[in-house]
Amino acid sequence: MSTPKTIPTATGNVQNAVKKIVIVGGGFAGINLAEQVAKNKNYQVILLDKNNYNYFPPLLYQVATSFLDASDISYPFRKLFRNKRISYRMAEVVKIDPASQTVHLTDEELKYDYLVFASGARINFFGMENVQRNAIPMKTIDDALHMRNTLLQTMEEAAMTQDREERKKLLTIVVAGGGPTGVEIAGMLAEMKKNIFLKDYPELKGTPGGIYIVDGGKNLLGPMSEKTHQEAYKVLTELGVKVKLNTQVKDFDQHKVTLSTGETIEAKTLIWAAGITANTFDGIPETSLGIGRRMITDEFNKVTGLDNVYAIGDASVQITDERYPKGHPQLAQVAIQQGRNLAKNFIAMIKYKPLSPFHYFDKGDMAIIGRNKAVVDLFKNKLHIGGIMALFMWLFIHLISLVNYRNKLKTLYNWATAYLSKDQSLRMIFRS
């Protein structure tokens, strides 16, 4: 365990001078940092985000599959920050100048005493241009709404065509990535095919088509326990999902998906949930970037090689923890805990008290697979829970993680309606 140490303030001013903290990104990490550190009157907090809302990424796939509305999992920053001493600006960072401690935005410049990147990550297409051009990504609210519209438009097209082979392509969906997002999307689509699609599209009865999930690893939900691997495989295959492991997607031309085995799947839809890479910014030296383009940080989340610049959440790779020599997993709990720990350290700095190194407390992993099935692994995979009990745990954890009571109540209502009716009424195509 590292010995706590004191880091001097940014400018060497007197202890009680107000310091400006600029936070880039309003996800799990940024929100938790901003709300905690703003309680101290010695700091001025400015949060930057290109969207004017916070959203809950673990439930994006439910927006994409029409089980939740986008407003159920999102909330405007300006309303969230009312009376919290946090300033919000809708802006994108163009570059930073560490020497002058300046953030260059699209329309202005901001000086800072401390700069924190909580800027998350974006989809990694691994250099495959056709896949990037044609696949449906799953990372943002815009992606989820695009996927919802595309899936519904594809179903309408399938209902109209009389060409059997074309209809089969339209009704075949490939999901790339066997992590929680990929597994949850594949399971949800399989449940919809079983319980909903034939009610809405009776003309498609007996039409061939299928749902595939493709992953380069030897198991679905790779970091989780062996029992979880087996249960995820069993539930998905029972739902009719075709699982292809030790296999990668290599190309997609809007008509067929080409796999690393040489096999092709005739399909019009490829959903990409296969990898992410950190968002990067001009002004951050290459020597400060590590695996996945994440900023290399010390045990206090300070970016190596830069003064007064920090990174948390998906933007950070912290290799000082011997339990995670390749960095912590890019999960919500890591981002939340790092945001809160950094807030405590900023408050300690202003009081010239020792800082606390970050240590990740692993609360476990979970995924929902089908209508009545979920998997939960606790205590570093030592305790596995499956079935309906795991489902209720998944529902509870995700419900309490939403940012306000309005979102919690709306989501609970929509979940209850969908569970009892095996249906939902959000399948509308809204075009912007």
Each residue's pLDDT tens digit, 270-289: 999 998 999 999 999 999 99
Please list the residues that pair with 121 across neighbouring strands.
Answer: 278
- Please tell me the predicted confidence (pLDDT) of residue 8: 42
For residues 170 and 246, membership in a common domain is answered with yes
Model confidence at 19, pLDDT cuts 50, 70, 90, reads very high
Task: Mark which of 310, 331, 350 sits at the end of a domain.
Answer: 350
Question: CB neighbours of 406 closer than 8 A, spacing ≥ 6?
Answer: 75
Domain annotation covers residue 394: no
Q: Which amino acid is at 409?
A: L
Domain annotation covers residue 311: yes
Please list the residues that pair with 173 across neighbouring strands.
Answer: 211, 269
Q: Which residue in 274, 180, 278 sits closest to 222, CA to CA?
A: 180
Residue 426 pLDDT greater than 90, yes or no? no
Q: Average pLDDT of 40-55?
A: 97
Model confidence at 153, pLDDT cuts 50, 70, 90, reads very high
Model confidence at 12, pLDDT cuts 50, 70, 90, reads very low
Ramachandran assignment for 206, one of left (phi > 0), alpha (psi -120 to 50 degrees), beta (any other): left
What does the alpha-carbon distance between residue 66 and residue 61 come to, in Å, rounded to a whole number? 9
Model confidence at 420, pLDDT cuts 50, 70, 90, reads confident
What are φ and ψ of residue 277, in 5° steps?
-140, 145
Domain containing residue 326: 19-50+91-123+276-350
Q: Average pLDDT of 136-142?
A: 95
- Please tell me the predicted confidence (pLDDT) of residue 333: 93
Burial of 390 (0-12, 13-18, 19+ CB in 10 A): buried
- Please tell me the predicted confidence (pLDDT) of residue 380: 80
What's the domain count of the chain? 2
What does the alpha-carbon distance between residue 34 and residue 122 come to, in Å, rounded to a whole number? 22
Residue 206 CB coordination number (10 Å): 6
Residue 145 CB coordination number (10 Å): 18
Q: How far is CA 396 from the centre of its chain?
A: 18
Model confidence at 4, pLDDT cuts 50, 70, 90, reads very low
Q: Are 67 and 418 in contact (CB under 8 A)?
A: yes
Residue 5 pLDDT greater than 70, yes or no? no
Q: Which tokens hold the place of 104?
A: 């260059």
Domain annotation covers residue 282: yes
Contacts of 150-153 with C-beta under 8 Å, sequence gap 24+, read 150/269, 151/64, 151/65, 151/269, 152/66, 152/427, 152/428, 152/429, 153/429
Q: Which tokens hold the place of 368?
A: 């929902």
Domain annotation covers residue 398: no
Residue 264 pLDDT greater than 50, yes or no? yes
For residues 266 and 329, membership in a common domain is answered with no
Q: Which tokens hold the place of 290?
A: 């590590």
Share of the chain above pLDDT 70, in %: 96
- Give the residue, 423 or 399, on which the prediction is more confident: 399
For residues 258 and 158, membership in a common domain is answered with yes
For residues 101 and 221, membership in a common domain is answered with no
Burial of 218 (0-12, 13-18, 19+ CB in 10 A): exposed
Q: Average pLDDT of 58-71?
A: 93
- Please tell me the predicted confidence (pLDDT) of residue 3: 43
Chain length of the chain: 432
Residue 70 pLDDT greater than 60, yes or no? yes
What does the alpha-carbon distance between residue 223 and residue 216 come to, in Å, rounded to a whole number? 13
Q: Which residue in 113, 71, 75, 116 sits closest to 93, CA to CA?
A: 116
Domain annotation covers residue 226: yes
Q: Are 93 and 104 in contact (CB under 8 A)?
A: yes
3-class SS of residue 58: helix
For residues 147 and 114, membership in a common domain is answered with no
* Whole-angstrom Cα Rg for the chain: 23
Arithmetic mean of pLDDT over the chain: 92
For residues 106 and 226, membership in a common domain is answered with no
3-class SS of residue 303: strand
Q: Which tokens hold the place of 417?
A: 């309606």
The pTM assigned to this predicted structure is 0.90
Q: Average pLDDT of 120-133?
A: 95
- Please tell me the predicted confidence (pLDDT) of residue 11: 38
Q: Which tokens hold the place of 145?
A: 């709404």
Domain annotation covers residue 292: yes
Burial of 235 (0-12, 13-18, 19+ CB in 10 A): buried
- Please tell me the predicted confidence (pLDDT) of residue 16: 59
Q: Average pLDDT of 281-306?
A: 96
Q: Which tokens hold the place of 134?
A: 């044609």
Q: Average pLDDT of 90-111?
A: 96
Q: Which residue in 51, 54, 45 sits closest to 22, CA to CA?
A: 45
Q: Average pLDDT of 285-314?
A: 97
Give the CATH number of the domain where residue 167 resides: 3.50.50.100
For residues 211 and 334, membership in a common domain is answered with no
- Please tell me the predicted confidence (pLDDT) of residue 38: 96
Give the CATH number of the domain where residue 328 resides: 3.50.50.60
Q: Are 117 and 310 in contact (CB under 8 A)?
A: yes
For residues 99 and 149, membership in a common domain is answered with no
Task: Mark which of 317, 332, 350 sits at the end of a domain.
Answer: 350
Task: Mark which of 350, 368, 388 sits at the end of a domain.
Answer: 350
What are φ and ψ of residue 174, in 5° steps?
-110, 130
Please list the residues that pair with 86 across neighbouring strands.
Answer: 45
- Give the residue, 17 or 258, on which the prediction is more confident: 258
- Please tell me the predicted confidence (pLDDT) of residue 432: 67
Please list the residues that pair with 276 across neighbouring strands.
Answer: 123
Sign of CA dihedral 328, 333, 336, 340: negative
For residues 164 and 106, membership in a common domain is answered with no
Domain annotation covers residue 263: yes
For residues 269 and 280, membership in a common domain is answered with no
Q: How far is CA 3 from the centre of its chain?
A: 33
What b/e sequence results for 29-63 when a residue is b if at least 16 CB atoms lie within 10 Å of its CB, and e otherwise?
Answer: bbbbbbbbbbebebbbbbbbbeeebbbbbbbbbbb
Q: Average pLDDT of 330-346?
A: 96
Q: Average pLDDT of 327-354?
A: 95
For residues 234 and 334, membership in a common domain is answered with no
Domain annotation covers residue 386: no
For residues 101 and 237, membership in a common domain is answered with no
Q: Which residue in 60, 69, 331, 267 sits closest to 182, CA to CA?
A: 60
